[in-house]
A and B are shown apart, each in its own frame.
Chain A
Amino acid sequence: MSAIPPPPAPPTNGSAMVEVNGVSKVFGDVVAVSDVSFSVRAGVTALLGPNGAGKSTLFRVMCGLTPPTKGTVRVLGADARRDRNVRGRIGLVPQQDGLFDRLSALQFVSFAAATEAVPDPEPAARRALGLVDLDADDSRPVSGFSKGMRQRVKLAAALVHDPEVLILDEPLTGLDPVQRRRMIELFHGLGDEGRCVLVSSHVLEEVARLGSRILMIAQGRLAATGDYRELRELMDDRPHRIRIGVDRPRQFAAALVESGTAVGVSVGAGSIVVDTRDVDRLGREVAPLAQRLEARLSRVSPLDEDLESVFRYLLEKR
């Protein structure tokens, strides 16, 4: 997992900008999305799920591109499928790679600006291309662009009209690590400005960088919502796993088992890995125990507090 700690979740005291109520979407015999409900406020929220979980379908339903089979979706209080005005307040990066291939990046984004009723399309397009680190004066048609450049053109087109709700379907696909970092910073900046930024991904590392607030979808159903660190706390049927660096590992392990704090211990050279159901109690006991055994502690670190652990747990439950 990434060494970069996730930024704190933005304040959630605003009103919901996107509301999804009991939404299901069925294609023939396939249930793509099943009875999903949630609401999203300003800030960055990651929609996480494995491939084929229904993320793109859910985004399409939210944007009004396809009607839900059941349930309702409100974006800024309106149905994007029926309300023309609200469509102009959404910025979408679709999953499809298709662009109007004969246009240059500037022409494409200017076109996007004009169709979003931006008064001065070209300056707006130049600004948006600058945000995604693309040269507005590059006159090549976008058909000659790499996957990453095309992805950034799509992002610029989604940003060009200053939308209040950004729906970004796998926007980091094809970008190199530096570009990813830049785009993630951009998303956080947009979220901090009060926009609702919804980003889908199946790459855990990306989601961990995007922020701690997640919507997790699996097999078309909403599996979890909220801060994934809080979600970890809710996984009370699974012991927490903590690594303790100590110079007398065998004695330390035996003492923890004897006291009932540990439900399982594995001993290594210079460290032990402890499974416990009560992290607080373990925290309280470690230092006195070290003192009593005259052992030297080098580190205490959680091994399964990360997003991957939550993700695996929720998927294993299916």
Chain B
Amino acid sequence: MTAPQSIGARRNVPGIRAAVLTYRVLVRQVITPGKLAALGALGALMMLVGWLVGFTAEAERSAAGLLRDGAGYADGFGLIIIVPIVALVFGSSVLGETREDGTLVYLWLRPMGRTPIVAGAAAAAATAALPLTVIPTAVGGWLAANGVDGSADLALAAAAAAALGTAAYSSLFVLLGLLVRKPIMWGLGYVLLWEGLAVGLGDFAARLSLRGYTRSVLSRVADVDYGFEPHTTTTSLVVLAAVSVVGLALAAIRLNRLEVD
């Protein structure tokens, strides 16, 4: 080693570079064969059951009826179960696990801003989660609609809804991973109790759940009415985007105040 020549020098990693570095290391950490196999199998199951639903549809069933089946299926299995669970697994662990295993210090004690670290982590979580949510939801919905006219639009709408939902949930769960120990437990509690139960308590509670907005995107973009009163597309997009951004902003603040082991 040479004598330190940089005493007093400013060292700083630019924001984008910090985000890219964080992304590159965390995307490798967060994607494990076990998680991929289990969650991939869940997606495959959704597509298989979707195919069975579409395949066994009665011949006299109308195209509109099949589209409603497909939308209901993409919503019920994809948006309500797969999207939050997959986002929870990757979102909560991307920084949460670094906190648990002590590797967060290798990101935290660096001349890097907190926002780029959180952005890179969220991007890593989304990279892992998106294929596992978007493909099954879109393909499952399309198969359940048995490929009738409009099912391509349905698949597109399902993909958009799943992608937006994954981004918003991932953002929330990245924050959760920094807020509590055992974030998956708390996240499952949120998904089950709030997204699954509390939204049935009334309109106001429903407005505070992400599920209402993701299914609204599906319904509006695919132009399929399947038994609920959706929010407008603009409202849904704004809310989902806002949740994504605010979640990350709060995560950056939390990371800055965190006590790192």
Contact = CB atoms under 8 A, between A and B. Distances in A.
Question: Quick check: do A and B touch in the complex, using CB within 8 A?
Answer: yes
A12 interface: no
A100 B107 CA distance: 11
A117 B109 contact: no
A193 B3 contact: yes
A103 B25 contact: yes
Interface in A109-168: 111-112, 114-117, 131, 157, 159, 161-164
Interface stretch (A58-66, A173-181, A206-214, A255-263): A58-66
A5 to B, nearest CB: 25
Max chain B Cβ within 10 angstroms of own Cβ: one of A96, A98, A102:
A98
Interface stretch (B4-12, B52-60, B61-69, B220-228): B4-12
Nearest to B3: A193
Max chain A Cβ within 10 angstroms of own Cβ: one of B12, B29, B107, B111:
B111
B157 interface: no
Given A67-B259, A103-B25, A115-B18, A87 B101 contact: no
Contact of A89 (B3, B11, B25): B11
A99 interface: yes
A195 interface: yes
B1 A88 contact: no
B230 interface: no
B251 to A, nearest CB: 18
A116 B110 contact: yes
Contact of B101 (A76, A98, A164): A98
B109 A92 contact: yes
Contact of A117 (B3, B8, B11, B102): B11
A88 B10 CA distance: 8
A66 B11 contact: no
Contacts of A97: 102
Interface residues of A, number: 42
Nearest to A161: B11
Contacts, number: 107
A317 interface: no
Nearest to B261: A96
Given A65-B105, A96-B105, A115 B2 contact: no
B150 interface: no
Nearest to A189: B1
A63 B11 CA distance: 16
Contacts of B260: 60, 65-66
Interface in B1-54: 1-8, 10-13, 17-18, 21, 24-25, 28-29
Nearest to B18: A115
Contacts of A80: 109
A198 interface: no
B111 A85 contact: yes
B112 interface: yes
Nearest to A162: B4
Given A103-B25, A164-B4, A94 B102 contact: yes
A96 B100 CA distance: 10
Nearest to B102: A96
Nearest to A195: B4
13 contacts: A64-B109, A85-B12, A87-B110, A87-B111, A88-B110, A100-B25, A100-B103, A100-B106, A115-B18, A116-B110, A117-B11, A131-B1, A193-B2
Interface of A: 60, 63-67, 76, 80, 84-85, 87-90, 92, 94, 96-103, 111-112, 114-117, 131, 157, 159, 161-164, 189-190, 193-195
